[in-house]
Structure 1
Amino acid sequence: MLLLGIDIGTSSVKVSVVDAASQKALASAQYPDTESPIISLKLGWAEQDPEMWWEQAQQAIKMCHATGKYNPQDIAAVGIAYQMHGLVLVDKNQQVLRNSIIWCDSRAVEYGDKAFEAIGEERSLSHLLNSPGNFTAAKLAWVKQNEPELYEKIDKIMLPGDFIAMKLTGAITTSVSALSEGVFYDFKEECLSKDVMKFFGFDEQVIPDVKPLFSSHGELKADIAAQLQLKAGIPVAYKAGDQPNNALSLNVLNPGEVAATAGTSGVIYGVSDQLTYDPQSRVNTFAHVNYSQVRQRLGVLLCINGTGSLNRWAKNLFGSNIGYADMNNLAKQAPEGSSGLRILPFGNGAERMLNNKLVGVHFHHIDLNLHERSHIFRAVQEGIACAFRYGLDIMRSNDMNPTVIRAGKANLFLSDLFAETFVNVTGVPVELYNNDGSVGAALGAGIGAGVFASPAEAFKGMEKLQVIEPNPNSNIEEVYQEWKVLLDKQLIAETAIEEEVGK
């Protein structure tokens, strides 16, 4: 029996076809081979066309089929992972009403802040486990205020993965995990948040039917099945945000277990059995894939918006003629600490861990007679690792104290230098696995379709590739302390600017 996994990323869509018996991918494909565009009409805005994701998903599925390594008719279920927090709007004919306002868009911060104040900080945090901040509910409030005629046409709101499931099946569903991701879920009342819906004036009819995360979210339509060479009627049996899915893919399901990823954004994601929250909502708590009202499993998420995106930016400007592997090798030629060069890596929207401030990327202490591109490449990776440390310290202050972190050997963790710097600056060993979000989504579909009795069974074949331990001879702690001073000064400056503009 075969399983199909679709991972809707910001940069591209990846698809894998997995053999359920061996839990191994028979074929994988990514489309496009260049990074997808992000539409930014104003500073801090970020949008993508949902139909672009659908086209990319179809192309990646067809590319997998073209390998000839399996019979597409043997695929029995579909799973979907997706970039979190995006807002997709459709009318009664399931037509997209506007571009999706995606996860790193910052326009709705003030709407979330007003809701936080009106609902009450203590009530918001204890019931929602978050400030409404810049999440999906606040994005919808922005549309309601600024595009009222379009808002009136809305039949259903969705997250990116819900949209792809709709295109495959015609059904529109959600889950508790997805509702919590949009800050629509009340954990104390265990239902759709009346506070959020009332404050923003949302009609409950725009919320899709709530289904268990591991269950059928619709069956493949005959016309789409024929178009994609698949069997009509197979279920979409799993949908989850990319970070809960990454944790599932690493078998991070129990309290105290922690996963990390460093793709377009950087994330540390830990599992808790407590309704925990950060008083400043700098790290966020959502229902994990295995959450239930009886057995609460929460995902505590630290997000840094610009990790791989900063690395890509540096490559485009300073290494357009080389590949990422060459770039990593050049970075190794610079000494630890990059000869004093420091980079603050915050140029991809408002950073939740910095209280939703738009800080931007900042280079410090550039010496035109000393620093070469090798120093820039290393300082980028060190700056990203320092941002992870800064966020991890926030998680530690909220009783999330990992003794080991699991990560897939992908994206920035393909760089030995980055992985070692991450371990040294956080002081936490990292286990690297042959992990992939689309494979995780496929195996999640196997759980939802009953092919596997439990997540533990689905991921029993996980391969540990490497364990990286902290190096006691590293001097990266000194680098981090200097980096943190520079960040603190920048945050003070940003606050002063905001106060001056607000006068």
Structure 2
Amino acid sequence: MKYVIGIDLGTSAVKTVLLSKEGNIVCEQAQPYPLSRPEAGWSEQNPEDWVQQTLSSLCQLMETSNVNPEDVEGISFSGQMHGLVLIDANGRVIRPAILWNDTRTTEQCRRIEKTLGDKLLTIACNRALEGFTLPKLLWVKEHEPELLEQASLFLLPKDFLRYRLTGNLAMDYSDAAGTLLLDVRNKCWSSEIAEAFDLPMSLCPTLVEAFEQTGTLLPTVAEFTKLLPETKVFAGGADNACGAIGAGILSEGKTMCSIGTSGVILSYEQRKELKLDGRVHFFNHGEQDAFYTMGVTLAAGHSLTWFKETFAKDLSFDELLQDIHLIPAGSGGILFTPYISGERTPHPDADIRGSLIGLDAGHTLSHAARAVLEGITFSLRESLEIMRQSGKEITEIVAIGGGSLNETWLQMQADIFEAPVVKLENEQGPAMGAAMLAAYGCGWFSSLRACAEAFIRPARVYSPNPQQVEEYQGLFSLYQQVYGLTYELNRQLTVYRR
């Protein structure tokens, strides 16, 4: 029996999975690490924590599974996007990593827009948002210039981890696309963008494909993890790209709905010259010469968690949602907008805040809970609409994450999205995608699509209910009005947020 390992380097923990050649999860482990918030809006981590916890997780994976190390052929990675890791000429970390959810760089984003103008979308294909890497580099250049002068290279989180496991430095295209320094369509670093901000091109690492081998394990790493030094290590990809691979989003019409803390609508794209004007993200896929479009709801699952912790703290999620199937579409006239942390798509607005509109004395907790789910799903549909307006046909949507755990919510997604929604038999998200990159890299399959056909198994398909679809069309139209009607109110309320 042969195996591969997928490593998913998340924001709060690292997850490792051992996958057999038949696509079965044999074993999985996870190890947490802390998040530091030294100032309001800042979000940092110590990259060495990623390394130590990954080594620990790999060691536990091998001990628990009891597989022969000779049978583990390859390892690959999925990683949290955008985080800035600076290393010196000796490969040492210069400062804590600045993460994707760090919001200190608003001023730098405006500077990028002013300096580059239309060239930003032409070259990098994305708007300047606080989460991206270039604004973080500019913040360090402005506030910690002595540290940037020491820097030999910038890396993204999973690339630093892979470097510490192999000694080799590289970055794949799917992760590089989230830096704002990559010429996305031409798959090369943009000297025009770097020179506009006086950043040396030498800071940018070598670019590779997500499935490309980037070394083997260092002897000390192999000894600690109980793996062999000759174990092949592959580049891996951005967490969303790997999530797409792990959900089989590898051909036209295939789309993914991932609901975790945030929510993502991601659709496979082959059209290189697609014009989206920055309304949704346009990134390189983990599959060679393919792309994906992606819209983001900042507080998807987070909205549901907030609602439960605020209004039903003593209930489990299952208890909170157990009666929502008894509530008709529209939740008895309640609309919820999930803007509790601002919004990303289609409104890149850090100041907008959520609304719960239409409450009356006859409403129950179940009415409000269903309204929260509907609002999250309406927000995600807004991303789908942008993609459809570009000419894309959405043939099916694969649900992963927390949104795939409740049958009523899955049917709601099919009705609101107006497309079949697929629940997978064994959903492992980005970790599965990372393992699939290793399986393909090892030569188990002729393509990632062939790997997906063998590894990914649908459990159930939820088809749109025509009557519910019609009901939700009217409700969605109302939902789309809430942002504009509450925009100015939220601006005036910002002075009271303390």
2-side partners of 1:262 and 1:333: how far apart? 23
Equivalent position of 1:149 in the other structure = 146
Deviation of 1:78 (Å): 0.6
Q: 1:420 aligns with which of 392, 411, 416?
A: 411
Structure 1, unaligned stretches of length 5 or more? none
2-side partners of 1:329 and 1:62: how far apart? 39
Superposition pairs of residues 224-239 of structure 1, within 5 angstroms: 224-239=221-236
Deviation of 1:46 (Å): 3.3
1-side partners of 2:392 and 2:491: how far apart? 28
Deviation of 1:388 (Å): 0.5
Deviation of 1:304 (Å): 1.5
Native 8 Å contact 2:257 2:398 kept in 1: yes
Query: Counterpart amino acid of 1:254?
Result: S
Native 8 Å contact 2:253 2:396 kept in 1: no
2-side partners of 1:418 and 1:160: how far apart? 33
Native 8 Å contact 2:213 2:235 kept in 1: yes
Equivalent position of 1:487 in the other structure = 483
Query: Counterpart amino acid of 1:166?
Result: Y
1:243 is paired with a residue whose SS is helix
Deviation of 1:371 (Å): 4.2
Alignment of 1:286 with 2:283, yes or no, is yes
Query: Counterpart amino acid of 1:426?
Result: F
Q: Deviations over 1:21-72 (max 9, x none)?
A: x12111122334xxx6654455544333333333443343334334335234
1:302 is paired with a residue whose SS is strand
Equivalent position of 1:219 in the other structure = 216
What TM-score do the two structures reach when normalised by structure 1?
0.89
Alignment of 1:464 with 2:458, yes or no, is yes
1-side partners of 2:283 and 2:204: how far apart? 18
Deviation of 1:6 (Å): 0.8
Equivalent position of 2:166 in the other structure = 169
Deviation of 1:395 (Å): 2.0
1-side partners of 2:128 and 2:480: how far apart? 27
Deviation of 1:190 (Å): 4.4
Q: 1:395 aligns with which of 387, 390, 408?
A: 387
Equivalent position of 1:130 in the other structure = 126
Superposition pairs of residues 47-446 of structure 1, within 5 angstroms: 47-121=44-118, 123-134=119-130, 135-187=132-184, 190-277=187-274, 279-292=276-289, 297-348=290-341, 351-367=344-360, 369-408=361-400, 410-433=401-424, 434-436=426-428, 437-446=430-439
Native 8 Å contact 2:26 2:65 kept in 1: no
Alignment of 1:30 with 2:30, yes or no, is yes
2:236 is paired with a residue whose SS is strand
Range 279-288 or range 62-71, more displaced: 62-71
Change (3 A) 1:133 1:30: same
Query: Counterpart amino acid of 1:422?
Result: Q
Aligned-residue RMSD, C-alpha: 2.6
2-side partners of 1:62 and 1:310: how far apart? 36
1:230 is paired with a residue whose SS is coil
Q: Deviations over 1:329-382 (max 9, x none)?
A: 144454432333332212346525313433233333444x44443333322211
Change (3 A) 1:40 1:424: farther
Change (3 A) 1:398 1:50: farther
Change (3 A) 1:480 1:350: closer
Native 8 Å contact 1:237 1:446 kept in 2: no
Query: Counterpart amino acid of 1:398?
Result: S
1-side partners of 2:214 and 2:341: how far apart? 33
Query: Counterpart amino acid of 2:368?
Result: I
Structure 2, unaligned stretches of length 5 or more? none
1-side partners of 2:305 and 2:248: how far apart? 29
2-side partners of 1:383 and 1:41: how far apart? 33
2-side partners of 1:371 and 1:144: how far apart? 53
1:79 is paired with a residue whose SS is strand
Change (3 A) 1:44 1:356: farther
Deviation of 1:282 (Å): 2.2
Native 8 Å contact 1:129 1:277 kept in 2: no
2-side partners of 1:333 and 1:51: how far apart? 49
1-side partners of 2:235 and 2:267: how far apart? 21
Native 8 Å contact 2:253 2:394 kept in 1: yes
Range 50-59 or range 177-186, more displaced: 50-59
Native 8 Å contact 1:339 1:375 kept in 2: yes
Deviation of 1:446 (Å): 1.6
Range 476-485 or range 442-451, more displaced: 476-485
- Identity, % of aligned positions: 27
Deviation of 1:163 (Å): 1.9
Native 8 Å contact 1:252 1:259 kept in 2: yes
